[in-house]
Homo-oligomer: A and B are copies of this chain.
Amino acid sequence: MSTTERATRDGDAGARIAERIREQILRGHYPPGTRIRQVDVAEQFGASRVPAREALRILEHDGLVRLVANTGAWVSTLTLAECDEIYRMREALEPLLLSYSAPALEAADIERLGALATEMAATDDVDRFLELDREFHLGSYAGAQTSQLGELVVKLWNTTQPYRRAYTRSIGGDARRIVHDEHHLIVSSLADGDIEDAGRVLAGHIRRTRRQLSRHPELFESITAR
């Protein structure tokens, strides 16, 4: 069929399927609360239900899907409190991750981060902004050689992605300018080699976003209904 795929049979179909579903969730094709059936997943990827279940379990541990025994799987929904918690975790962890990454960043890398910040400030398309924002921050962590921290931060970004999209749509141009200023500040500190200061600005950046987000409880009530 046109939408079905053929597994290349390299021994880990579950992980590959999970990867594809993850992309679809992050792109907003499956909004929070959507039910995901094993049969549909299996059929879509031309596999049996066994790897489909494994994929769902992987996504559950990624925090993108909620599994209930004997019942089914749904795309995760977040309450405001849960989202707030994740942002507090990010505020604590991302400066640490940046301290792992910064020493390994070359001048060219930092230049590219600056270009991303500039391009981000110029665009008006929400989806494009989200893409660039993710590329900017995760790009600033590209030098980190960590075994767990890097993956964890990506996971935290992923679980909050749908709400970041809704939030970005709702904020005005003024709050956005502050965001862009902070991005450029981070780039400057990195260029100066002042890792500690870059971490401080980054923590403030995340903290401010969290406080802004807490003023928009309607983003969560609307979705959490299920």
Contacts and interface: CB of A to CB of B under 8 A. Distances in A.
Contacts of A61: 58, 61
B58 A89 contact: no
Question: Main SS of the interface on chain A?
Answer: helix
Interface in A63-84: 63, 69-70, 81-82
A204 to B, nearest CB: 16
B86 A96 contact: no
A93 B10 CA distance: 37
What class of interface size applies to chain A in its complex with B? 20 to 34
A212 interface: no
A93 B86 CA distance: 11
16 contacts: A11-B70, A14-B57, A53-B54, A54-B54, A57-B57, A61-B61, A63-B148, A81-B147, A82-B147, A82-B148, A85-B100, A85-B146, A85-B148, A89-B152, A93-B93, A152-B152
Listed residue (A14, A85, A93) with the most chain B CB atoms within 10 angstroms of its CB: A85
B96 A148 contact: no
A223 B86 CA distance: 35
Nearest to A144: B85
A89 B147 contact: no
Given A57-B58, A89-B152, A93-B93, 17 more contacts: A11-B69, A12-B69, A14-B57, A54-B54, A54-B57, A57-B57, A61-B61, A82-B148, A86-B148, A88-B96, A88-B149, A89-B93, A89-B148, A89-B149, A92-B92, A92-B96, A152-B152
Interface string A41-70: 000000000100110011001010000011
